[in-house]
Structure 1
């Protein structure tokens, strides 16, 4: 009887030990799963952080490239403007919009005036708008402009060969009338700033008369 009791106690102890081992193994397995899960979450967060950082770096690189290009463009524009100013702004020239104008300080015939403009890399002025007309009127010079009908009478053309479309003739002009009977042909045009209104201030005149002149060239 005592032997059976001892055997039962032994079996119970072994069962208890086995249960402890099983619980410990289960606990280890649970801890292992949690550890793996934690490590996986950590790696995922790390990958996400790396992706975000890479995206931010890309955006910063794009912004930097744009800034550098803008800086280079502005620098080149300033240098170009400075160079153009040095090259196209000699004494006697004035700038209006995208063009430069030379105003003479002496008088010549229309042909002589045009020759002078050509030597300066320009030509007698061509007037395209009210603003330009008013600007030139403000120079306060009774001067030749680049308009003539010397090729075909009453067919007015600019020095670049284009036909006249918008005109600023003074009242009753052109009249093809000269004070000297020998020079009745008035085939060239002056801008009369002495007494006429800015917009309507053109007058046809003999090309042999001496006037100041205005040269023009594109910047």
Structure 2
């Protein structure tokens, strides 16, 4: 406990009145000690004020938290609403695209069916042409020659209509065929007969070209008899032509030549 503070107070005691004649009235001063406690006074009123202040602080803190939560809730609702609007617009776009695709598929199916019917009818007319006694079916359509289990047709186009190797293959594909592939010497000899010497034709493309340093057929198989190409090196960009009266020859695939198409014969 801190020491008490000591204050001094003056106490003046007046004496009875003296006659006016006396020169001076003496005053007697007495000093007494008064002790004052330095500790602040605490009472019920100060405790209640402090408690009330703490309650106000708690309420202010709760109110601040509620305000923050409210702001966050408003932001969340705005973001959610924006997402809903975006998703709705995307959903509508997807529905429109789906409708367009459905219409396109239906159109394609209709066209495909029509083409299939036309192709089937074309095949019937080609392989089973009508005659005086009705239809007579053959293994190869008109203009093709059957040999072994295949049909062959050579294109003796003039120089102005000749094509490079890729172009010749594209032409064969329009006839449901591909460039001729040879499996044995017998077939090689026959293909040679389908390579007639005609003015302006230097050779007929067949389905053999150089790939990766090897002679390879369009069906993916490798050339097994290198003598057929007279040991000519397989340089990429080179393709093979056939011509009656000479051996196969390696030339640039970009040159223009005639070509020989082949496809499987029908069983009748």
TM-score (norm 1): 0.50
| Bigger Rg over Cα | 2
Q: RCO higher in 1 or 2 (8 Å CA, sep ≥ 6)? A: 1
Structure with a larger share of its residues in helix: 1
TM-score by length of 2: 0.41
